[in-house]
Amino acid sequence: MAKRIKGHLIAVDQGEEILFSDFEDDGDMWSGEGPRERRKTIAFSEPFAQPPSVHCGLSMWDMDHGHNQRADLTTEEVTRDGFTAVFRTWGDTRIARVRIAWMAIGAAVDDDQWQLY
């Protein structure tokens, strides 16, 4: 889906987040089987003028090499203020921990544009 940014002010925000670390406490991403999911709400450092485009990628994953490596990473609920990162796996995949890197690009709030009502 293409997104056009109106105006001349473009904002970029980025960061990294550890989504989970399940190895130490034998959590379900490490010890479970079947469909599993983790969600994390991430706030932008300041609001955008409208919901931005957000790109997410794995910046670190620690997985068991004895099983198939299955992973699905996506973003949901993107607003002016933040988004939800969603990581899913399934089957017998064993994941010890995951860190993501993200970048948001969108229209910046223009302090000279006042909204009276």
pLDDT number for residue 36: 95
pTM of the model: 0.85
pLDDT along the chain (117 residues), means of 10: 72 95 89 94 95 96 89 96 97 94 91 61
Q: Are residues 73 and 25 in contact, defined by beta-carbon separation less than 8 angstroms?
A: no
pLDDT number for residue 98: 96
Taking alpha carbons only, the member of 39, 30, 8 closest to residue 108 is 8
Cα separation, 85 vs 78, whole angstroms: 9
pLDDT number for residue 12: 95
